[in-house]
Structure formats: structure tokens, C-alpha cells
Structure 1
């Protein structure tokens, strides 16, 4: 095994970093409008509606872009989609009863678990520089999320970490279980999984019919309601933006090592903070700025020294 630098691998890592940057900027913008969507409808209807819109967009552009939506290994694609979809539903569901800082900190443990799974399940070397990068990036996440504002630690706080584990497993599955699958196949599977969860949730809430708070507080418990024009517009923006962003993310994991790409995903935090400032005028404090610098440092360590 050679110890020399691999220009082809380094080039793929650089391209993957660019794809993740585009993904972060797009998702950071669209996710800032979830607060607007939450005022008019529920989490489950949002995912179900977004699935219909996203699949319609994919089907509409497929003939013009030469997209092929038939999976090579349907079982692997379905399993990968279910794992990623479950991670995201746990993440959004936890927002109903846990502070955002607690949920996000748990979700962003995913790069740590990506490296651990890669090491112990697949025997990949992770090296000291990548370990340092993960530690620096996670510390940056904690600083951005303003430590000390989370609620009391209890059994429920484990769920966001479970989401992080599943998200990491789904990222690895993109390159291992689903090697050879086209990006559009994985993208369609991702939206179908989330939409299926949305339909199941709407069915359960139609039978259960719990008391639902008004506004954003009722986002998780709200079942099917008559959609407003604002809900449909921003859900379509979410669908189109997610197709572009998640498609970029999937492609990044296809062309480069999952352990390296996972570090670049930290950039979604400063991207979201940037759009929050542009759209809503909310600014970051000194700790958050320090955290962002650590996040970028983690990405640079992986890009320049990761092996």
C-alpha cells in the first residue's frame, strides 16, 4: 500500500466539499422557512405533501435529463432510504419535547459515528488527524448551539443521538450498500421514505385526534388540515431545494470517503446561521463565531491531511 498522496482521491474530496457547500447553502435557506410552514400545517402533512411534489419534479425532468429511476438493488435502496428517513423523523419529532440545542447536538454526532462505524464495521483506518478533526468540529457545533441552554438530561435525550447513529449509517450505506446506484434513485428513495412516514403519521393522527396547540407549537401533533397557499408555496420551495441540496449531498458521498464527507456537513450550521441573519436579522455571538471557525478548521484538516 502506497503512502504517497493520491491526486485522484484528493480531487474527488475537493469536488465532494464543493457539493456539500452547495447542499448546505440550499438547505440552510429552505429550512429557515420551516417555521413558516409550521404555522399552517403539521410535520406529517408537510413530509407527505413534499414527497408528492418532489416525485412529480423528478418524474417531470427525468426524460429531459436522461435520469433512470430503476434501482440496481431495490432492497438495499429501500433499506438505506428507511434508515435515513427514520433518522430525520426522529430528529424532527424530538423538536416537540426537547430543546433545539439538545436535538441538534445529538444529530451532529453523526460524523463521529460515521468514523467509528467505518473503523469497526468496515476496517477502515481513521488516523489521528481525522480524529482531531471530528473533535474540533463537534466542539464547534457545541459552541454554535450555545451550551447551557438545553433542558435537563433524561432518557429522551438519547433519541437525538440515535438519530445521529442512523444518519451516519445511512451515509455509509450510500457508498457501501448502494454502490453503483444512480443519485436520482437514492434521492427518490429518500423522499418516498419520508413521505411514507408522513402518510403513516397522518393516518395515526386521524384516528387518535389529540388536542393540538395553535401555531408552531402544534407542528408535530397536527394532522391533516386544508392547505393554505403559503403552505403549498413554501413546501414546493422545500421540495425543489431539497431535491437540489440532497442530490448534491448524495453525490458527494458517492464519490468520496464517507468519513471525509461527513466532516464537511458541519458547514450546514454556519450556512443556516448566515441565512437566519439575512432573512430574520438574527445574529451570532462570540461563542458561535468561534464555533464556526472550529467547524471550518475541521474541514480543512480533513481536506489537507486526511488519509
Structure 2
């Protein structure tokens, strides 16, 4: 039994250990698995929003998730000590702030619409990859991102305008998240998956603590509906929220680990498109478990987003057979 445990641990450690190799197929599978998990757990943020605040939610995620990550590290599944503290902190802050915008939006709108706003992130990934990292972007990836963006507009539909300023939240989250994605590959290559995972939770907990202190000092009106998720102070007891918090924590540890690994195995502009699969998982679980409707218009938009992913998958598969430019980059 001990030998089997050792073999299993070594296999897991191989997956969690940083590598500089590019493995597009493994990166895609890790990303799709991450999106399936995240799509299932994120629908319950709307339920959590009915009883506690976003800030308390972020703090509790840190308090519950950190022991799990530290235990995995102690068992030999990877280190939590960053090689470059500044790079990990910068990357974690970008993603944590982006996810705050996304989680906040879930209190106001169905998950399909929140995800559509968040998934402007591949557009920003493409722009950052081209103009900041100076990497050449082939025409097929440009077409695929354009198709995906069209799908996002269709999912949002005319109802997006009725939400007012709230519709900006997931789009802002997408921009910040994309910046973190590019930073993962450009600045954090070689970092352990557990290091990157713990960094996100710590950054989210720190952000939540600062916001909660400010709310306690200012004592704003709590209000009703989704706005209460942003203006509540600390709520105790929180019996109704506990089951969903635990589901969020364990699911997040698994999902974010797979997501981080995906970006370490593949190029950001390739891997990012496979995140579109959450546009299938999220609305499906929202409809199945919470009864959130998905209109035919939203279904058509999701189909366009899936088409974008298929285009990228095919072109990525053929990339190794395509000619490259003088610097060795694929021209597709």
C-alpha cells in the first residue's frame, strides 16, 4: 500500500512540478477539466451572496483553502515557496482583483452573462501577447477570437444594457484576469503550481480584509439584492453558507490547480481559448441545479464560442507541421 501511495504521489508531483516544455494537448485537457469544476461550483456564489458578503467569502476561502494547499505541500506534492516573490505577488494580485469583479457580478446576473463578460479575457490575452510580449499571432487565432467575441455579444444580448454599470464588472474582471494569464507564462514559468494557487488565495484574502475593514469603518447602507453582497460587513453565524463555502474551497483548489498547470504547459493565447468550455459547463449547471434559464439566443452565442475553441484546437494540433518565421515561431 505504501508503494502504491508513493507511485501515485510521484505521478501527481510530476503534474504539479514546473516545466518549461510546451505540451498543447495536456494543456488543453487540464484547462477543460478546470472549467468543468469551476462551472459547477461558481453557480453557488449567487446562493452565498444571499447571506454573507463578497469580502467575507474571499477571507473564508483563504482560511479554508490554505491548510489544504499547505498539507499537499507537506505530503510532497510541490513547494509553496515562490522563486520570485515579486512576480508571484504581481500575478496573484491581478487575478485576485479580476476574480473579485467576476464574483461580484454573479450576485447580479445569471452565470451565463457573468461568464460572457469575463470571457472578454482571451481578447485581452491576444492583445497583450501581440503588443506586450511581441509574439506573432497567426490569422486563424485572430479569426477564432473574433468568432468567440461575437458569441459573447450574442450571449449578453439586449438585456445586458438594463444592468447598467454592473455589466462593466465582469468585463473589467476579464481584462485583469487576462493580464494575470500573460504574467503566468511571462513571469512565473518555473513556479510550482501550489505556489501560484496559494498566491491567488492569499491575494484574495488580503483584498477581502482591506475591503471589510473599510466597510466596518464607513458603515454604509447594506441595501438589498446583489448590492448587499458588496456592502455587508462580517456576518455571524453563517450556517446557511457553510456547505457552499466548503464546496467552493475544495472545488477551487482542484480547478485552479488544473488551470495554473494548463498555462504552464501551453502558450497563453492557445490555452486561453479552451477556457471557453466553461461557457458550456456554467450555463448547464446553472440551469440543471439552480433553474437559471438559457435562451435560444444565449445558446447560439455559446455555439459560436465553442466554434472558436474548435478552430484553435485544430490549428494548434497542426502547428508543429507548419512553417515558422526566422525566429522559430509558427506562422499559422
Are 1:258 and 2:268 counterparts?
Answer: yes
Aligned residue for 1:230, secondary structure, equals coil
Contact 2:111 2:283 in 1 (8 A): no
Are 1:17 and 2:2 counterparts?
Answer: no
Are 1:114 and 2:122 counterparts?
Answer: no
Shift of 1:278: 1.7
**Match for residue 207 of structure 1?**
217
Show structure 1 runs of 5+ residues with no match: 1-7
Aligned residue for 2:160, secondary structure, equals coil
**Match for residue 3 of structure 1?**
none
Calculate the TM-score normalised by the size of structure 1: 0.89
- Supply the distance in 2 between the matched residues of 1:96 and 1:234 (Cα, whole angstroms): 15
Question: Which residues in structure 2 correspond to 1:30-179 (within 5 Å)?
Answer: 30-93=41-104, 104-145=115-156, 147-151=157-161, 160-179=170-189
Q: Structure 1, residues 244-266: CA drift from partner, whole Å, max 9, x if none?
A: 00111110000001001111111
**Match for residue 12 of structure 2?**
none
Contact 1:99 1:150 in 2 (8 A): no
Aligned residue for 2:75, secondary structure, equals helix
Show structure 2 runs of 5+ residues with no match: 1-20, 317-331
Aligned residues: CA RMSD: 2.4
Deviating more after overlay: 124-133 vs 81-90: 81-90
- Supply the distance in 1 between the matched residues of 2:163 and 2:72 (Cα, whole angstroms): 47
Q: Say which of 279, 300, 303 aligns to 1:293.
A: 303
Change (3 A) 1:113 1:216: closer
Shift of 1:111: 0.4
Contact 2:120 2:152 in 1 (8 A): no
- Supply the distance in 2 between the matched residues of 1:29 and 1:155 (Cα, whole angstroms): 27
Shift of 1:137: 1.1
**Match for residue 206 of structure 2?**
196
Shift of 1:103: 5.7
Shift of 1:141: 2.1
Aligned residue for 1:39, secondary structure, equals coil
Calculate the TM-score normalised by the size of structure 2: 0.82
Contact 1:41 1:227 in 2 (8 A): no
Change (3 A) 1:154 1:283: closer
Contact 2:104 2:169 in 1 (8 A): no
**Match for residue 280 of structure 1?**
290
Shift of 1:22: 1.2
- Supply the distance in 1 between the matched residues of 2:132 and 2:31 (Cα, whole angstroms): 25
- Supply the distance in 1 between the matched residues of 2:259 and 2:151 (Cα, whole angstroms): 21
- Supply the distance in 1 between the matched residues of 2:107 and 2:47 (Cα, whole angstroms): 16
Count of residue correspondences: 297
Contact 1:101 1:150 in 2 (8 A): no
Change (3 A) 1:226 1:292: same
